[in-house]
């Protein structure tokens, strides 16, 4: 098992495995978020169901561990690649989006971590964290989630920040998904173009789903007023 930690292939495999789990979570999270557009009472029921139950807390801890592993191995592989390249820098100005994302995965990852911290502050910190530690001054109850989202996404600054984060996620996924398969040995001239196409399609669907929520509530705020 030492090859998982000590070899480049092993590290890439861990990156791929943790990335796969995070991709599945993104699909679930996007689907759950879209419920808020279809039916806010249903979305509030989901929030109440999750709440601070042991399985929600355990799931959150597991997700945090996955993100931490993914970030640590991303840093290790980035430093390893930079040492291997030496002074050779990517200087081409005619990169396609896929090539650009491939060569800037670490930068995209930093943007995504910043976006994730903002998102955690806006929701998790004011919901699960506040409920766990009984911080009533900032707590957003499940039945208040709808009004909280309208107020939050009524801010043009928040909309811009969220859309920047979602665009960074799209670039990250377009490279990350097919790279994940490649790291597990699924590649070649036949499969690689197909996997890139699947990655682009999946990334576009997921990111459009995520973007629909802040845009919807911004429009709702503008129509209803402050």
pLDDT in tens, 40-87: 999 999 999 888 888 899 999 999 999 999 999 888 888 887 777 665
Q: pTM for the full model?
A: 0.88
Q: What is the pLDDT of residue 215?
A: 96
With CA atoms as reference, report the closest residue to 82 among 108, 111, 106: 106
Rounded to 5 degrees, what are φ and ψ at 37?
A: -80, -40
- Residue 149: which domain range? 2-224
pLDDT in tens, 168-216: 999 999 888 888 877 766 676 777 788 888 889 999 999 999 999 999 9
Q: What is the pLDDT of residue 9?
A: 79
pLDDT in tens, 88-111: 555 445 565 656 777 787 888 889
Domain at 159, CATH number? 1.20.1300.10
Q: What is the mean pLDDT of residues 151-161?
A: 95
Full DSSP string of 128-174: IIHHHTT-TTT---GGGHHHHHHHHTT-HHHHHHHHHHHHHHHHHHH
Percent share of the chain, pLDDT over 70? 88
| Stretch among 4-18, 19-33, 92-106 having the lowest mean pLDDT | 92-106
Q: Which two tokens stand for residue 110?
A: 């930093």
Q: How many domains does the structure of the chain reveal? A: 1
Calculate the alpha carbon distances from 30 to 14, 173, 193, 224 in Å. 24, 14, 26, 25
């Amino acid at each position: 098992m030492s090859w998982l930690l000590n070899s480049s292939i092993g590290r890439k495999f861990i990156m791929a495995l943790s990335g796969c789990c995070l991709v599945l979570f993104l699909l679930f999270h996007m689907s759950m978020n879209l419920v808020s557009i279809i039916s806010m009472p249903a979305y509030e029921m989901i929030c109440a169901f999750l709440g601070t139950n042991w399985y929600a807390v355990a799931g959150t801890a597991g997700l945090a561990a996955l993100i931490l592993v993914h970030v640590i191995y991303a840093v290790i592989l980035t430093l390893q690649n930079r040492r291997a390249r030496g002074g050779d820098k990517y200087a081409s100005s005619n990169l396609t989006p896929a090539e650009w994302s491939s060569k800037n995965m670490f930068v995209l990852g930093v943007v995504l971590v910043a976006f994730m911290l903002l998102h955690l502050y806006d929701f998790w910190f004011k919901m699960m964290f506040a409920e766990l530690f009984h911080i009533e001054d900032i707590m957003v109850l499940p039945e208040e989630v709808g009004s909280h989202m309208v107020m939050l996404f009524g801010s043009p600054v928040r909309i811009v920040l969220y859309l920047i984060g979602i665009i960074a996620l799209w670039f990250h996924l377009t490279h990350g998904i097919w790279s994940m398969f490649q790291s597990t040995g699924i590649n070649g001239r036949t499969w690689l173009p197909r996997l890139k196409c699947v990655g682009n399609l999946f990334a576009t669907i997921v990111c459009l789903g995520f973007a629909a929520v802040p845009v919807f509530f911004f429009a709702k705020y503008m129509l209803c007023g402050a």
